[in-house]
Structure 1
Amino acid sequence: MSKDLDTLLTALYVLIDDHVVPPRTGRGRRPELTDSELLCLAAAQVLLGYHRERRWIRHIHSDPQWRTMFPYLPNQSGYHKRLKNAEPLLRKTIITLAVCCPSWFDDLWMTDATPVPCGMSRETVKRSDLAGYAGYGYCASHSRFYWGLKLYVICTGDGMPVSWCLANPKIGEREVLAALLDHDHHLIHDGQILLADKGFSGKPFKQLATEMGLELLRPDRKDETYRNGNLGGVRQWIESVNQTLKGQLGLEHHGARTPAGVFTRVAQRLLAMAAAIWHNRTTGVTSKPSLIAYDH
């Protein structure tokens, strides 16, 4: 473990313990692994590139340095169960990290969708517990079909996730984003600019965004008159966020086979990215989305 990762986990533990996890009340035995420690382990697992929980548990049990930071280290089954039950804490931690960053008050936010493959064979599709949730979709950037879910993320200019959801790829992008904005409308500032892809076109969706206090900014389609151009330089920001999730954080290698499992492992990756961006801002690192200092 590097000193940078050690520092990040320490700072993250303090923030979660102070602002996310409610104080323990009532009688009963205290858990040997607190919720704050659990979330720190979840973020560290993704930052260090351990996509499988068994390999991660073997690693922390074999390295005495982890024992000095975490007096109790769980086994694989206990870690898996605790992490799946920590769904509300994962969501709350991500939004808490976002609020703590100055980019929360930026006028420009961005949104995009990216595939989350969940199976590669027909037998998996027929037997998976994700049947009814996942579906077939087409990834235009890689010119391929896939079976799984689609991740929708609204983030700030530096990549800090603000709001997100998973949806069946057969559902229209505008429909999903409209539902996501309606669910998290309390997070939107007055006069907020939302940069989206050209797929989020149409008067009904633009009118809905205006009613929510959003100014929609998107590239022009080929059949439209010139307004904003292709916005290639700015659109590259959200593409870099997707690349970080897929490349460094292994979004497509989550390995989950249940709805709760997929949600948890996607949330883990968003938590790791949010924690790194928050800590980089706190320590004055120039490149805010950089994860290089924490991946070894």
Structure 2
Amino acid sequence: MGIASNGPHGHLHGKVGNLVFYMLNGQPVVRLIGRKGKPSTLQLANYQEMAVTTKLLSNMGGFIKLGYGLQARGTVHNAHNLATSYHKKHALTGQYPNISIDYSKVILSQGQLPETADLKIEKLAGGVEISWDPKDDNVLKYNDSVMVMIFFPESGKDKEYLNIARRSEGKCFIPLNEQQLKEQMEPYISFIAADGEKVSDSRYLGNLNGKGLNEAEKQQQKKYEQVKTRFDQLEASYSKQMIANYGEKPKDKAFKYLEKEYQTLKKQLEHLPGKPG
């Protein structure tokens, strides 16, 4: 039941038919409810776009709050809404059902603080070092904080650093374990004023270690390895029986079943995706 708490001309609150009325960030909102039919390809694509975007932003709530919070002030939006909207529209690549992130288009903060020159990243023993021009002038201050975000798409164990250094230091070191140093890395850096009133656009520092396997490719590789393991077992048994029979095929049913499966898997492996290398 909908309730008109502000009179007959006010905004309703609650359910009326297949409509639900409620307040969102101080604004009256209405949405449609009911059973969904079979989704179209466009709807499925939209679902995947949202899922991929949500996964990207899931481990960086603090970074997004600082990176988009200034833009959200005085609007009905919040920082996460703005970040989701940007990345869904501009940072995705591919067509359904193979939509993925274009990491070169990811922007984790947007603001008026100018970008910093001479940004570099380097892999060292035990971690990565990020460096920049530490100059101090009327706009870029020595006490600006440095924020760093590193995505690890293969493992999903992303790292968020909201105050890892000061601009005046000119560099920072991020310790990583041996496995992380081998994984695909997508690093970003932003600068934020000490009082939090200005933030720079984030800068993409470039891919490290190349592109790893996405989830679909991992499943394909797993399937290939399972089929290859079974094929290797059959091949060993097939060869053993052929040798024992001096190159002639045994005429029993067991060998015929063995040969049929052996030939089927051999042909399957020729076209099955997921082959290493």
What TM-score, normalized to structure 2? 0.28
Work out which structure has the larger RCO, using CA pairs closer than 8 Å and 6 or more positions apart in sequence: 1
More helix by share: 1
